[in-house]
Every structure is written in structure tokens, then in C-alpha cells.
Amino acid sequence: MFRTIFSLVICLVVAVVIGAFAILGLSVADIQTLLGSGAITAGLLSWGAALFKVLITPYSSALLGVYSPLVALGVGGFIAGLVSKSGVRMFFVSIIAMVLFFLGYAILGYSLALEPSVLWPAIQSIAIDLAASFALLFIPGVIGASLTAEEY
């Protein structure tokens, strides 16, 4: 259980950090400017909505020539797989991480409107992207898990 939770945290942190710098193009100076301003919450909400929108739609982003979400999700999944040491754990980590990325996108992108009548059309419209997100987390995660697996 500990490895699963730790793998999930590692996956989320790595994907968000890579996404913040590669997808959003933020720099340390931008983050320091936000922390020095009085509108920290508004800045984080707008950056979070943009980041989760791109992380949950890697296939559509790749069609538009933005390949950073592929890298962020793949590296996050691979490092989480190295920590988890199990393909089964990575299956659950991938599903939970994908759900958390979608919830971040829905909460920040739709202004906290978590109604099924709003969420279901959003899920249907990005179904291929959700499958790609899962694959980008799961496949590198299984590769990482197989590299560090402990055979009994």
C-alpha cells in the first residue's frame, strides 16, 4: 500500500513539475513574481486549469504539435513504475492519476461545476485523450516496474 501511494504522489509531482516548466513555459522568476503578488490564488487557478487541460488531452495536443504532455506523463509514469516495482500497482496508480488529472481539469476548467450533466459530455468528447493519458502513464510505468521488480 505504501509503495502505491508513494508512486502516485511521485507520478503526480513529476508530471505537474515537468508540465509547469515545459507546457506552460514558466520560469522561476514567474513563480517568484506570482508569490510576491497579492493574487496567488487567481494565478494558480489559471495556471492549473491550463496545465490540467493539456495533461488530460495529450493526443489532441500532439496533433497540434505540442509534445510536452507526452513527455510529462511518460516520465511521471516511468519514475512511478521504478518506485512501485509492480505492474499491478502501476495499473491502479495510472487510473487514479488519470482521474485526479481529469478532476483538476474539471474543477479548475469548469469553475467547480461538478455536475454529471456537465462532466459526461466532457468525458465523451475527450475519450481518446483519456485512453492516451492512461497508456502514457501505464506503459512506461510497467517498463519501470519491470526494471526494479523483485522476483520471489
Q: Give, for all 152 residues of the chain, the pLDDT tens digit.
A: 888 999 999 999 999 999 999 988 888 888 888 888 877 888 888 888 889 999 999 999 999 999 999 999 999 999 999 999 888 999 999 999 999 998 888 888 776 567 777 778 878 888 999 999 999 999 999 999 999 988 75
3-state secondary structure 31-42: HHHHHHCCCHHH
Distance CA 152, CA 133 (A): 31
- For 62-83, the DSSP string reads HHTT--HHHHHHHHHHHHHHHH
For 71-112, how does the pLDDT look when each residue is reduced to its tens digit (9 = 90+)? 999 999 999 999 998 889 999 999 999 999 988 888 887 765
Kindly report whether the global pTM for this prediction surpasses the value 0.85: yes
Taking each helix axis as running N to C, give the angle between helix 40-56 and helix 2-18, from 0 to 180 degrees, rounded to the nearest 10. 100
